[in-house]
């Protein structure tokens, strides 16, 4: 994508006073794209890198007069998370607004487009009608249930020139690249790795440059075996390490991570500083339970409940939203379902803005690692991983391609490597 942008700039795609617009979904991806663009001398001071939400809010604020009351009502029903992007997509159906945007941003770059919902897809479909648009997307990496982007990507493929990227550019480790490609193609991952015996046990594992695959016959009753293997991997160290799993509720994985985080013992055990990052739904559920919203509450009652938890940044966000609604619309009664949706929106916003704990070792679901990267990734694959063979391959591929330097896959149980996502 950056190479295409470089060529466009060299061909004078930007006129006097014009800039290139780069759009991403997550704030972490925005920061990485900003770094990549700043590394190009020809781009400096010639681009704005924004999230879709930020761009949408600016566009809606500047062209608010074009919106009808009916459209505003639809946006209000969609909530703070989706509403502005829906409005931006509606505005970009207007020829005058398109010309107005293109005068400032004749070139648009879009990263990770496979993760976009229908409202953010609408922004791209509007921009491509008026701007030279370069979109990077990989439908195989779409993990959201019910959010297949195949139709959207087909529309983009039919609208311009296509360039296919055959491998991850996050790493140059040949073993890791070959293993990830085997998973993506539904092939046997062991076929591209080398067999080696482990220590005195002569148990086999499979290795390649930047890659290790091992089966650990651990069960919920002997999670210590997984903990020992995990501690052995963690002692190898790295600048930033992620423990990824398709099932963050797995008892054996929870117990093993707790053990390595809290147990001092013989080699290789020592207590490792591990921060568990829960999914948005879990965080929102815990926060909602802690606040204790009643079935219905008055404006003053809601404000009083939120005040008790005002140390939480996400609660402050909800409090500001409640007060704005009361001030602008006069709403004085709030149902629990509406308040819960406000909490969920605030948690998702918090995640997108990248407010994560700074622990060196992070544990999270594979979904939680989307659009992020780590020096070393350790994938914990339990028997409880569910879904179709295709879905499992997508999950494992996404986990592996988060790694910049090394990926270790620990498969729990015996004989699991003969089925998806590790074999045909």
* 48 close to 72: Cβ distance less than 8 angstroms: no
User: pLDDT value at position 170?
Assistant: 84
What's the CA gap between 80 and 419, in Å, rounded?
A: 43
pTM listed for this prediction: 0.76
Could you count the other beta carbons within 10 Å of the beta carbon of residue 167? 13
Give, as one character, the DSSP assignment of residue 368.
G
Nearest to 105 by CA among 18, 219, 196: 18
pLDDT, position 357 = 46
Task: Name the residue ranges covered by the structural domains of the chain.
Answer: 1-158, 174-273+359-412, 281-353
Which pLDDT band, with edges at 50, 70 and 90, does 268 fall under?
A: low
pLDDT at 344: 86
For 187, which DSSP code? -
**What are the strands, taking DSSP E only, across 3-93?**
20-24, 47-51
Quick one: pLDDT at residue 57?
Answer: 95
Q: What local confidence, expressed as pLDDT, does residue 289 receive?
A: 84
For residues 250 and 252, give the distance between their C-alpha atoms in angstroms, rounded to a whole number: 6
CA–CA gap between residue 233 and residue 410 (Å, rounded): 10
Tell me which CATH code domain 174-273+359-412 carries.
3.40.50.300
Q: How far apart are CA 46 and CA 55, in angstroms?
A: 17
Rounded to a whole number of angstroms, the distance between the first and last alpha carbons of the chain is: 32
Asked whether the predicted pLDDT for residue 194 surpasses 50, the reply is: yes
Topology alike, domains 1-158 and 174-273+359-412? yes
- The stretch 282-303 carries a mean pLDDT of 87
Say whether pLDDT at 256 is over 80.
yes
Read off the pLDDT of each residue in 294-306 and give the average, rounded to a whole number: 93
CA separation for the pair 113, 136 (Å, rounded):
6
Averaged confidence pLDDT in the chain = 88
- The mean per-residue pLDDT over the stretch 184-208 comes to 88
Alpha helix stretches (DSSP H) within 330-366: 336-352
CB neighbourhood size of 188 (10 A): 14
Q: Which two tokens stand for residue 380?
A: 């914990």
The residues facing 397 across adjacent strands are: none
Per-residue pLDDT of 33-44, as tens digits, reads: 898 899 888 888
Span 252-269, mean pLDDT? Answer: 77
Confidence of residue 180 (pLDDT cuts 50, 70, 90): very high
- For the chain, what percent of residues have pLDDT higher than 70? 93
Tell me the CA distances in angstroms from 359 to 101, 230, 272, 274, one per residue in order.
41, 17, 10, 7
**CATH code reported for the domain at 1-158:** 3.40.50.300
Q: What is the pLDDT of residues 99-147, one digit of tens each?
A: 999 999 999 999 888 888 899 999 999 999 999 999 998 888 888 755 6
Long-range contacts of 297-306 (CB under 8 A, 24+ apart): 297/333, 297/334, 297/336, 297/339, 298/332, 298/333, 298/334, 299/326, 299/331, 299/332, 299/333, 299/334, 302/334, 302/339
Mean of the pLDDT values across residues 176-192? 95
- Residues whose CB is less than 8 angstroms from the CB of residue 409 and which lie 6 or more positions away in sequence, other chains included: 212, 213, 214, 379, 381, 396, 400
Long-range contacts of 314-318 (CB under 8 A, 24+ apart): 314/287, 314/343, 314/346, 314/347, 314/349, 314/350, 315/287, 315/291, 315/346, 317/346, 317/349, 317/350, 318/342, 318/343, 318/346
Lowest mean pLDDT among 59-73, 165-179, 320-334, 402-416: 165-179
Q: Which of 401, 392, 409 is nearest to 181 (CA)?
A: 401
Q: In what order do the strands lie in the sheet with 107-110?
A: 47-51, 20-24, 107-110, 132-135
Cα angle 236, 240, 242 (rounded to 5 degrees) comes to 85
Distance CA 319, CA 342 (A): 9
Which is more confidently placed, 277 or 254?
254
pLDDT single digits (tens) 49-96 = 999 999 999 999 999 999 999 999 999 999 888 999 999 999 999 999
Residue 202, pLDDT score:
67
Which pairing describes strands 403-412 and 374-381: parallel, antiparallel, or unpaired? Answer: parallel
Q: What is the pLDDT of residues 320-366, one digit of tens each?
A: 999 999 999 999 999 999 999 999 888 877 766 655 445 678 999 99
Q: How do residues 375-391 score in pLDDT, each as one tens digit?
A: 999 999 999 998 899 99
């Amino acid at each position: 994508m950056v190479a295409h942008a470089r060529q466009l700039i060299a061909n004078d795609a930007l006129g006097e006073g014009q800039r290139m617009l780069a759009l991403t979904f997550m704030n972490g991806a925005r920061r990485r794209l900003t770094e990549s663009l700043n590394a190009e001398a020809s781009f400096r001071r010639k681009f704005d890198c924004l999230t879709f939400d930020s761009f949408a809010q600016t566009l809606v604020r500047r062209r608010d007069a074009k919106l009808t009351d009916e459209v505003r009502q639809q946006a209000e029903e969609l909530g703070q998370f989706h509403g502005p992007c829906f409005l931006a997509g509606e505005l970009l159906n207007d020829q005058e607004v398109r010309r107005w945007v293109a005068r400032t941003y004749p070139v648009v770059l879009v990263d990770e487009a496979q993760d976009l919902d229908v409202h953010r897809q609408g922004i791209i479909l509007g921009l491509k009608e008026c701007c030279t648009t370069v979109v990077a997307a990989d439908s195989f990496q779409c993990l959201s249930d019910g959010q297949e982007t195949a139709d959207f990507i087909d529309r983009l493929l039919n609208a311009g020139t296509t360039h296919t990227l055959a491998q991850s550019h996050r790493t140059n480790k040949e073993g890791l690249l070959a293993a990830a490609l085997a998973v993506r193609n539904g092939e046997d991952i062991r076929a591209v790795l080398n067999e080696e015996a482990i220590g005195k046990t002569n148990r086999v594992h499979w290795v390649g440059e930047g890659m290790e695959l091992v089966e650990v016959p651990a069960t919920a009753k002997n999670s210590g075996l997984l903990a020992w293997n995990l501690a052995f991997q963690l002692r190898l160290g790295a600048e930033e390490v992620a423990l990824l799993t398709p099932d963050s509720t797995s008892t054996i994985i929870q117990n093993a991570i707790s053990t390595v985080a809290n147990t001092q013992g013989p080699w290789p055990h020592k207590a490792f500083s591990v921060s568990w990052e829960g999914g948005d739904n879990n965080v929102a559920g815990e926060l909602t339970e802690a606040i204790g919203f009643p079935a219905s509450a008055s404006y003053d009652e809601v404000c009083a409940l939120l005040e008790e938890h005002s140390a939480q940044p996400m609660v402050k966000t909800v409090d500001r939203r409640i007060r704005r609604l009361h001030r602008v619309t006069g709403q004085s009664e709030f149902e629990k379902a509406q308040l819960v949706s406000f909490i969920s929106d605030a948690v998702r916003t918090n995640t997108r803005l990248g407010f994560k704990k700074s622990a060196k070792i992070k544990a999270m679901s594979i979904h939680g690692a989307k659009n992020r990267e780590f020096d070393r990734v350790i994938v914990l694959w339990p028997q409880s991983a569910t879904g179709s063979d295709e879905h499992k391959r997508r999950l494992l591929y996404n986990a592996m391609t988060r790694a910049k330097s090394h990926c270790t896959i620990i498969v729990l149980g015996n004989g699991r490597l003969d089925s998806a996502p590790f074999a045909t």
